[in-house]
Structure 1
Amino acid sequence: MNSKQQHSLIFLHIPKTAGTTLHYIINRQYKSEYIFEVNCRESRNELIRMSEVQKSKIKVIRGHMEFGWHEFIAQPCTYITMLRDPVERVISFYFYILRQPD
């Protein structure tokens, strides 16, 4: 492996932890064609089915997901996430739910 090979970024977005802000920062730093968005359970299978050439172009994997997505691409990866005080997070989530339509 080339020691100068660029790492892909894997952003584990935990709800109500300023992850949306980090989402926008990533959008400013990377073109959309280099970002793989995890939106649903099928996203994992979609990534697995990609060709190695397609996977090699991925610079960011992000979404509400668990650890382990680095196993699906060949390039080295760096994980990031945002954390928040648990009580503040629950309060924020509570008010978020109140603002949602039924």
Structure 2
Amino acid sequence: MRKLLYCVDRVLESDLVLETQMETVNLELKRARTLANKWEIEARAAERHCKDQESRNHLAENEIERDKAEIPRLWKRLEKESDDFKTHKRDRKKGRKRLMNI
């Protein structure tokens, strides 16, 4: 009878140990899921950030291309204004000379 009680006691003790181990495993599993969810959220945020950055880079590249295309036009305008200024300056000198000759 004692042997039977001893065996039952051992079985109950092992059952308690297994139950405790199962609780520990469940807690670890829950923590692992929480970490996995956290990492997934961080990965999505990083992905969104990368897409936003790519979009900004693309917009900046387009702006650079637009500016590159505008440079020749601005250069021609600058040359024209420079020529107009030189002409104006030359005309003023000629006008001054004419006034002095009068």
TM-score in same-fold range (> 0.5):
no
Higher helix share: 2
**TM-score, normalization by structure 1:** 0.16
**TM-score, normalization by structure 2:** 0.16
Higher strand share: 1
Give 1 or 2 for the bigger CA radius of gyration.
Answer: 2
